[in-house]
Structure 1
C-alpha cells in the first residue's frame, strides 16, 4: 500500500515556479528556483511504485535515492563553486525508513546513505544554506541521509510528523515490548518518543509551524511555510556553518557536558 504523498505534495507547491532538474530517478524530485530572491534547490524523496528496488517503493531512502541525493547535491556544490550567492538546499522530508533488504545490504546501502550525508555536510560547510522541512515521517537512516545535516530543522505541528530511530513496531520487537508498553515508556523518556513536541524538547528544531492541512496544504499554509523558510535562510546567513545551535536544550545537558569534557581533554 502506498504511503501518503506529503513530500510530493509539498514539493509540488513549494517548487511550483521552479525548474525541475532531469536525470534523477522518479523517487527523487529536484528543482531549482528562488525563494524571496534567494536561489534555492528543492529536494524530496518520494514514493515510486515502479522503483526497481521493491524495498524502496514507499518513500524509503534506498540505494538509488542515497547516491542520487549525493549526485544532486555535489552537482550544486560544483556549479556554484565560484559563486558568492550559492544556492540554498531545501530538503522536504517525508521518509518512513531506509530501504531494508538483502540486495540493499549486499550492494552497500550504508555507503549510499553515507554518501548523501557527506554531500549535505560538505554543502553546508562550503556555504550553502541547508534547511530541512519535516512534513511527514523522518525515520531512521532515511532522515540521517536526507535532512539531518541541515543548518536549520523546521517541522510542521501535525500528529503524522514524527522523528525516531525506527518505527514503533520495529522498536517494540527490538526492546521485547508491546507497542503500548513502548508508548508508555516514551511518555517519560523524551528521546524514546515519536511526537514532534518531545523531539522539539531536545533542542534540535529551529521552528515548529502550525498549518491547516499538512497532507494537502492550502495557499495560506504554503505562504506560511515559505515565510518560515525565508526567515531560516536569513538566520543562517549570519550564523556559523556548524550545528552548534542544536545544543543548549535542557534535555541535552549530557551532550553539552560530553563536549566540554572532550574539549578539556583533547
Structure 2
C-alpha cells in the first residue's frame, strides 16, 4: 500500500491539529488549521489526495496549480495576520507528496509559477520571523517537496521505508538515466544523492532529526505525543539559533557545497 493510499498526510494532520477546524477557502486537497503546540501558536498545512480534484493529474496528493497557489495564500495569510506580533505562529508543513502534477494544463497555466509562489511564501515567512518546520511522514518528491516543506529551518522525518526523499521517483529516474531500477539502486548504494533512504539524505546534512513511531499510517496517541515533543524541541532550537538555512551545511557529503560558497564569498 502506498503512502498516498494510506493518506498519511491527512491522518497526521488530523492527529496533530487535535480537532481544530480546517480553515475554509482552500481546495479540498489542501488542509490548513491553526492550533497550539506547547502553548505556542502553530499553523499546520498538508497537501492530501482528492479524487474530485478538477485537475486529474493532482488527484493523488501531487502539488499542482490549486495546491501551489493555496499554499502561498495560507502562508501569506499567516504572515499578514501576525505582522507586528512578537509571538508569530510557527508553520508546520506535513509532507506526504509523491510529485508535482505533470500535465499539459498544468504547464499551460504555469505550474512553475504556482509552486514558486509557495516557495516564496515559505521563504518570506522565515524572513518575517516565523519558525518553519517540515515533518516528513511519507514521500517527499521532486518539485512538490520544494514547494511544500523544503524551505523549513528544521526537517524532521519519521523512520519508515515509505518515507522517501528524492528529485524524482525510481521509475522516472531509471528512464532518465537509462538504467534499470535495480541498477539505479546499486548506484544509490555508493552515491548518497542518488539514494532514497533517510540515512543517505541525512548524510547530506539536510535532516535535523529522524524519529521512530509505532503506527506511521495511522498515528496513535503515543505516536502523536512523541512527534509533538520533537516538534517542540525543533521550535526551541529555531528560537535559540540561526533563523536561516545555514545549519544544512557542514556535513561531510556537503563539503563541495561549502567550498563553493567560500569561493563565491572570496570573489564577491
TM range (shorter): over 0.9
Counterpart position of 2:12: 10
Instruction: Provide the rounded CA distance (Å) in 2 between the counterparts of 1:171 and 1:250.
Output: 25
Q: Give the 4+ runs in structure 1 shifted more than 6 A.
A: none
The CA deviation string for residues 11-69 of structure 1, in whole angstroms up to 9 with x for no partner, is 01000142321110000000001000110000000000000000000000000000000
Match of 1:103 among 83, 102, 105: 105
Counterpart position of 2:80: 78
Instruction: Provide the rounded CA distance (Å) in 2 between the counterparts of 1:20 and 1:4.
Output: 20
Cα distance, 1:3 vs. partner? Answer: 2.6
Instruction: Provide the rounded CA distance (Å) in 2 between the counterparts of 1:242 and 1:130.
Output: 10
Instruction: Provide the rounded CA distance (Å) in 2 between the counterparts of 1:213 and 1:69.
Output: 27
The CA deviation string for residues 170-216 of structure 1, in whole angstroms up to 9 with x for no partner, is 00000000000000000000000001111011110110000111111
Match of 2:154 among 120, 131, 152: 152
Gaps in structure 2 of 5+ consecutive residues: none
| Secondary structure of 2:242 counterpart | coil
When the two structures are superposed, what TM-score results if normalisation uses the length of structure 2? 0.98
| Secondary structure of 2:5 counterpart | coil
Instruction: Provide the rounded CA distance (Å) in 2 between the counterparts of 1:4 and 1:110.
Output: 28
Instruction: Provide the rounded CA distance (Å) in 2 between the counterparts of 1:17 and 1:100.
Output: 33
Instruction: Provide the rounded CA distance (Å) in 1 between the counterparts of 2:267 and 2:141.
Output: 34
When the two structures are superposed, what TM-score results if normalisation uses the length of structure 1? 0.99
Instruction: Provide the rounded CA distance (Å) in 2 between the counterparts of 1:239 and 1:52.
Output: 43
Q: Is the 8 A contact 1:162 1:196 kept in 2?
A: yes
The within-5 A match list for 1:129-208 is 129-208=131-210
Which has the higher mean CA deviation after the structures are superposed, 236-245 or 188-197?
Answer: 236-245
Q: Is the 8 A contact 1:66 1:145 kept in 2?
A: yes
Instruction: Provide the rounded CA distance (Å) in 1 between the counterparts of 2:158 and 2:25.
Output: 30
- Alignment length (residue pairs): 266
CA-atom RMSD, angstroms? 0.9
